[in-house]
A and B are shown apart, each in its own frame.
Chain A
Amino acid sequence: MREILRYGAVLALICITAAFSLSMVNSFTKAKIIAQANAEEQASLKEVLPQAERFEAVKSASEVIYYKAYDNKGNFIGVAFKASGEGYSSTIDTMVGMTREGTINAIKIISQNETPGLGTRVAEDAFASRFAQKKLSMVQEIEAITGASISSRAVTESVAKKAAEIVEIIKNER
């Protein structure tokens, strides 16, 4: 009985020390992690809609659904949103910039973990540029990369699906 109490006390002491040191580290890094994520998001927004001056997040219960983009005169010029689809070995997240008229302006792959040399090529400019100035109805027909059809399809399909949803939301708002 006394042994068990001693073991419990030792283990508890180690756990308390560990928890305390982790909370210290957390208090140092927490704010920076959030700032990093925000900076990355803003950079990718700028990349898919370079004409825009200001982005306004449209939220539903603290989750960002899409961003409204305004130019320097305050005119509404388009929207930007994140689409994600299941690729070959990972979830591929794409930032999409869409003009007010419903054409894709540009896309940027923000995170993926596909097979190097094959699936990772979806993140290269050669593939992303195939989306530039495409009408929504034509997105599904964008040519896939040879040897990376699953990854390519994950991008085209997720972009097309999410774009259709966003168009619907914007229509309802008007």
Chain B
Amino acid sequence: MKKIFAEFLKGIIKENPTFVLVLGLCPTLAVSVTVSNGIGMGIAATFVVVGSNIIISLIKGFIPDRIRIPCFIVVIATFVTIVEMTMKTYSPLLYRALGIYVPLIVVNCIVLGRAEAYAQKNSVLNSLFDGLGMGIGFTLALILISAIREILGSGKFLGHLLFKGFEPIFLFGMPPGALLVIGLLLGLFNLLKKERV
């Protein structure tokens, strides 16, 4: 039980997909403009990584090693399409805001990375918690980045105006702002890691 919990926790800080593994930066840069987009993207990716981890670890004995990548991609694409349809049904607004980045979860390297590095070698239960931890780690990273960008870039948090008379720094709402924020946070994470060692 303790080991499973450790599998879950490692994705959140020690092996955080965004700040430590530095995977899946393309959607991170693109959708982290507002916190609501960040949360939506995070939940969608969490569902996909948990689902694909479970299925892949279930059928790992059945998949020949040499064609494992196409098999993984089919499994992942199936989950992404399910997310896409569900999002269209229940939250068309979010679907429109995330745009092309929902179908692009297929090529998010966090998902394929977990299938390749973890799910195909571990039990179903462990893979489930690994996926959950990675997904939540990714979501938290997105929330952190998008909160900084939304507050500085438009003076809002989750769409609510925070303070009156604040002149927003538009740069943070635009792509260069995303690169700056992620770069500085990566540096901060490395600094903290060094100090602990």
B71 engages A21 (CB within 8 Å)? no
B74 engages A36 (CB within 8 Å)? no
Confirm or deny: B113 has a beta carbon within 8 angstroms of a beta carbon on chain A: no
Please report which residues of chain B, range 138-197, place their CB below 8 angstroms from some CB of chain A when the two chains form the complex.
150, 153-156, 168, 170, 173-174
SS of B interface (majority): helix
- Tell me the nearest residue of chain B to A35, going by C-beta: B89
| Partner among B59, B70, B78, B173 whose Cβ is within 8 Å of the Cβ of A22 | B78
The A/B interface has a contact count, at CB < 8 Å, of 74
Hey, which chain B residues are within 8 Å of A15, CB to CB?
74
A12 to B74, CA, bound (A): 10
A7 engages B64 (CB within 8 Å)? yes
Confirm or deny: B77 has a beta carbon within 8 angstroms of a beta carbon on chain A: yes
Confirm or deny: B99 has a beta carbon within 8 angstroms of a beta carbon on chain A: yes
* Given A33-B85, A36-B92, A116 contacting B33 (CB threshold 8 A): yes
Please report which residues of chain A, range 99-142, place their CB below 8 angstroms from some CB of chain B when the two chains form the complex.
111, 113, 115-118, 120
Please report which residues of chain B, range 42-93, place their CB below 8 angstroms from some CB of chain A when the two chains form the complex.
59, 62-64, 66-67, 70-71, 74-75, 77-78, 81-82, 85-86, 88-89, 92
B64 engages A10 (CB within 8 Å)? yes
B170 engages A11 (CB within 8 Å)? no
Confirm or deny: B14 has a beta carbon within 8 angstroms of a beta carbon on chain A: no
User: How many A residues touch the partner, as a band?
Assistant: 20 to 34
User: How many B residues touch the partner, as a band?
Assistant: 20 to 34
B89 engages A36 (CB within 8 Å)? yes
Q: How far is the CB of B176 from chain A (nearest CB, A)?
A: 12
Write the residues of chain A forming the contact surface with B, with a CB cutoff of 8 angstroms.
Answer: 3, 6-7, 10-11, 14-15, 18, 21-22, 25-26, 29, 32-33, 36-37, 40, 90, 111, 113, 115-118, 120, 147
Q: List 9 A-B contacts (CB under 8 A).
A: A7-B64, A10-B64, A10-B67, A11-B67, A11-B70, A14-B75, A116-B34, A116-B154, A120-B154
